[in-house]
Structure 1
Amino acid sequence: MKKLRTINAFLALVLSVSLVAGCTPKAPPPAQPPAQTEARKPAESPAPPPLKNVEVVSKNGMVAAAHPLAAEAGVEVLKKGGNAIDAAVATALAVSVVEPNASGLGGGGFMLIRFAKTGETVVIDYREVAPQKATPDMYKVVDGKVVDDADHIGYKAVAVPGYVAGLSLALKKYGTMKLADVMQPAIKYAEEGITVTATLSGIIKDNFDKISKFPATAKIYLKDGLPYEAGDKLVNKDYAKTLRLIAAKGPDVFYKGEIADAIAKDMAANGGLITKADLAAYQPSIRKPVSGTYRGYEIISSPPPSSGGTHVIEILNMLENYDVKKLGHNTPDALQLWTEVIRRVFADRGKYMGDPAVVKVPLDGLLSKEYAKERAKDIDLNKAGTEVTAGDPSAYEGAHTTHLSVIDKEGNMVALTQTIECFFGSGVVVPGLGFLLNDEMDDFDVEPGRANSPGPGKKPLSSMSPTLVLKDGKPFLSVGSPGGPRIITAVAQVLSNIIDHGMSIQEAIEAARIHADNQSVYVEGRIPEQVRQALEAKGQKVTVKKEYDLYFGGAQGVLFDTAKGEFHGGADPRRDGKAVGY
Structure 2
Amino acid sequence: MVYKKFLYAGAIVSLILGLSACTTATKAGTGAYVQETETWKPFDENGEMIRTDRNAIGEVGVVSTSKYEASKIGRDILKQGGNAIDAAVAAGFALGVAEPNSSGLGGGGFMVIRSAKTGETIFIDFRERAPKNSTPEMWKVGEDGKVVGNQKVEGGKAAGIPGEVAGLLYALEKYGTMSREQVIRPAVNLAKNGFTVTPTLSGDMKNQFDRLEKYPETAKVFLNEEGLPYETGDKFVNKDMAKTLEIIIKKGKDGFYKGEVAKAIVNTMNKYDGVFTMEDLANYKPIIKKPVVGNYRGYEIISSPSPSSGGAIVVEILNILENFNVGELKVNSPEYLHLFSEAYKMAYADRAKYMGDSDYVPVPMNGFVSKKYAKEVAKDIDLKKSKDGIAHDPWMYESEDTTHYSIADKEGNMVSVTKTVNGLFGNSVVADGYGFVLNNEMDDFVTGVGHPNSIEPGKAPLSSMSPTVVLKDGKPFMVLGSPGATKIISTVSQVISRVVDHGMGMQEAIDTPRLYDNTANKIGLETRIPEETIKKLEEMGHTVVKTSDWDRGMGSVQGVLYKADGTLEGGADPRRDGKALGY
> Hey, what does 2:492 align to over in structure 1?
491
1:366-422 CA-to-partner distances (Å, cap 9, x unmatched) read 11011111112111122221233599xxxxxxxx01111111221111111111111
CA distance in 1, matches of 2:409, 2:438: 32
1:472-491 CA-to-partner distances (Å, cap 9, x unmatched) read 21101010001111111111
> Hey, what does 2:17 align to over in structure 1?
none
> Hey, what does 2:313 align to over in structure 1?
311
Contact 2:55 2:581 in 1 (8 A): no
> Hey, what does 1:553 align to over in structure 2?
555
CA distance in 2, matches of 1:512, 1:201: 25
Q: Which amino acid aligns with 1:226?
A: L
CA distance in 1, matches of 2:341, 2:471: 27
Alignment of 1:324-363 (within 5 A): 324-363=326-365
Q: 1:280 is matched with which residue: 257, 274, 282?
A: 282
In the TM superposition, what is the alpha-carbon distance from 1:63 to its structure 2 partner?
A: 0.5
Distance 1:11 1:74, change over 3 A: closer
In the TM superposition, what is the alpha-carbon distance from 1:501 to its structure 2 partner?
A: 1.3
SS at match of 1:300: strand
1:249-291 CA-to-partner distances (Å, cap 9, x unmatched) read 1110211211111111122322101111111111111111111
> Hey, what does 1:123 align to over in structure 2?
123
Q: Which amino acid aligns with 1:129?
A: R
1:291-336 CA-to-partner distances (Å, cap 9, x unmatched) read 1111111111011111111111011001101111222211111111
Alignment of 1:216-295 (within 5 A): 216-223=217-224, 224-295=226-297
1:88-120 CA-to-partner distances (Å, cap 9, x unmatched) read 000111111111111000000111001112211
SS at match of 1:148: coil
Q: Which amino acid aligns with 2:171?
A: A
> Hey, what does 1:92 align to over in structure 2?
92
> Hey, what does 2:137 align to over in structure 1?
137
SS at match of 1:426: coil
Contact 2:51 2:575 in 1 (8 A): no
Identity of aligned residues (%): 54
Alignment of 1:318-467 (within 5 A): 318-388=320-390, 400-467=401-468
In the TM superposition, what is the alpha-carbon distance from 1:5 to its structure 2 partner?
A: 5.8
> Hey, what does 1:528 align to over in structure 2?
530
In the TM superposition, what is the alpha-carbon distance from 1:547 to its structure 2 partner?
A: 0.7
Q: Which amino acid aligns with 2:102?
A: A
SS at match of 2:350: helix
CA distance in 2, matches of 1:389, 1:519: 9
CA distance in 2, matches of 1:310, 1:174: 25
CA distance in 2, matches of 1:258, 1:290: 38
Alignment of 1:103-122 (within 5 A): 103-122=103-122
Contact 1:55 1:570 in 2 (8 A): yes
Distance 1:51 1:297, change over 3 A: farther
Contact 1:311 1:349 in 2 (8 A): yes
CA distance in 1, matches of 2:219, 2:253: 27
> Hey, what does 1:28 align to over in structure 2?
none
Q: Which moved more, 1:374-383 or 1:155-164?
A: 374-383
Contact 2:292 2:302 in 1 (8 A): yes
Q: Which runs of 5+ in 2 are unaligned?
A: 14-49, 394-400
CA distance in 1, matches of 2:263, 2:176: 29
Contact 1:332 1:532 in 2 (8 A): yes
Contact 1:53 1:571 in 2 (8 A): no
CA distance in 2, matches of 1:321, 1:4: 52
TM-score by length of 1: 0.89
In the TM superposition, what is the alpha-carbon distance from 1:519 to its structure 2 partner?
A: 5.0
Q: Which amino acid aligns with 2:475?
A: K
Contact 2:156 2:271 in 1 (8 A): no
Alignment of 1:470-485 (within 5 A): 470-485=471-486
CA distance in 1, matches of 2:65, 2:445: 28
1:451-494 CA-to-partner distances (Å, cap 9, x unmatched) read 00111111101111000011121101010001111111111011
Contact 1:294 1:320 in 2 (8 A): yes
CA distance in 1, matches of 2:485, 2:5: 36
CA distance in 1, matches of 2:482, 2:325: 26
> Hey, what does 1:19 align to over in structure 2?
none
Aligned residues: CA RMSD: 1.9
SS at match of 1:146: coil
CA distance in 2, matches of 1:323, 1:149: 47
CA distance in 2, matches of 1:559, 1:235: 34
CA distance in 2, matches of 1:338, 1:4: 41
In the TM superposition, what is the alpha-carbon distance from 1:53 to its structure 2 partner?
A: 3.1
Contact 2:155 2:269 in 1 (8 A): no
Contact 2:132 2:457 in 1 (8 A): yes
> Hey, what does 1:190 align to over in structure 2?
191
Contact 1:9 1:226 in 2 (8 A): no
Q: How many matched pairs?
A: 534
> Hey, what does 1:507 align to over in structure 2?
508
Distance 1:4 1:385, change over 3 A: closer
Contact 2:156 2:270 in 1 (8 A): no
Distance 1:242 1:336, change over 3 A: same
* More relative contact order, 1 or 2 (CA 8 Å, 6+ apart): 1
> Hey, what does 2:59 align to over in structure 1?
59
SS at match of 2:427: coil
In the TM superposition, what is the alpha-carbon distance from 1:8 to its structure 2 partner?
A: 3.4
